[in-house]
Amino acid sequence: MSRIRLADLSAVQLEDKNNIEVLGFMMWYSIGEQLINRETLLEYVVESGLDEGYMPAEIRIPDAFRRASKAVECRMDSSEEGVFYRYLVREVVSDRKMIQRNIVKETVDSKGARLRYAEKEAILVLEKEEGILRIASVTEEGNRLGQQVASLFEQYKSHHDARAIRSMCLSILRSMSPTSMRSSGGVYFVPVRLVPRQTA
């Protein structure tokens, strides 16, 4: 019995491309961790002929502050064997006028037992109406992390992260009634009549 190789098969005959009826498209994509300026993203959306309604929501200043402060959480080794430091961010106050978050420091041994807890390595206060971030540092490491928050805050006020871009792309994909081609997802068939048309 002769065997037919998959490489020898095709879904359509390609000799006369003018008579090929395209039913849809196979598609897949991946989005790595990145930041993109909101204005640049809007330019891409418009250039692609997509509705601007697919754009992520406007970036709120409090959200940018929370993202920036969360991003500096980290773990550091100490000079003591089996002991390390864990720098965390804790929200202390949030009301109509301001948000206060503190950078705290946990001293932990290798078994996970907390030895010490410092509540105010740095105090981060966002004045909501003015969009101003004020930093009061208690320690040298708190000052370093606080300055890192300030730098990220300026960036996050105008840049979307990969999560926002993924959410936008998923909304666009769902609007085209995709059929998943794998049980785990990631590869889709999109009917040609539902592919967004590029505007003139």
Asked if pLDDT for residue 155 goes beyond 60, the answer is yes
Q: Are 154 and 59 in contact (CB under 8 A)?
A: no
Higher pLDDT, 190 or 72: 72
CA distance 130 to 196: 40
Asked if pLDDT for residue 9 goes beyond 70, the answer is no
- For residue 195, report the phi and psi dihedrals to the nearest 5 degrees: -70, 130
Mean pLDDT score of the chain, rounded to an integer? Answer: 87
When pLDDT is cut at 50, 70 and 90, the band that residue 194 belongs to is low
As a whole number, mean pLDDT of residues 28-45 equals 93
Task: Supply the pTM of this predicted model.
Answer: 0.77
pLDDT of residue 19: 65
List CB contacts of 6: < 8 A, sequence separation 6 or more.
none
Strand partners, 136: 123
Higher pLDDT, 112 or 28: 28
Asked if pLDDT for residue 88 goes beyond 90, the answer is yes
pLDDT of residue 200: 47
Weakest-pLDDT range from 33-42, 44-53, 188-197 = 188-197
Q: Percentage of the chain surpassing pLDDT 90?
A: 63
Show the beta-strand stretches assigned E in 67-187: 74-77, 83-94, 98-109, 114-127, 132-137, 159-161, 179-180
CA distance 99 to 96: 8
Amino acid letter for position 66: R
As a whole number, mean pLDDT of residues 22-28 equals 85
Residue reference for tokens 């009917």: 191
As a whole number, mean pLDDT of residues 105-121 equals 89
Per-position b or e across 153-190, b if 16+ CB within 10 A of its CB = beebbebbbeebbeebeeeeeeebebeeeeeeeeebeb
Asked if pLDDT for residue 86 goes beyond 60, the answer is yes
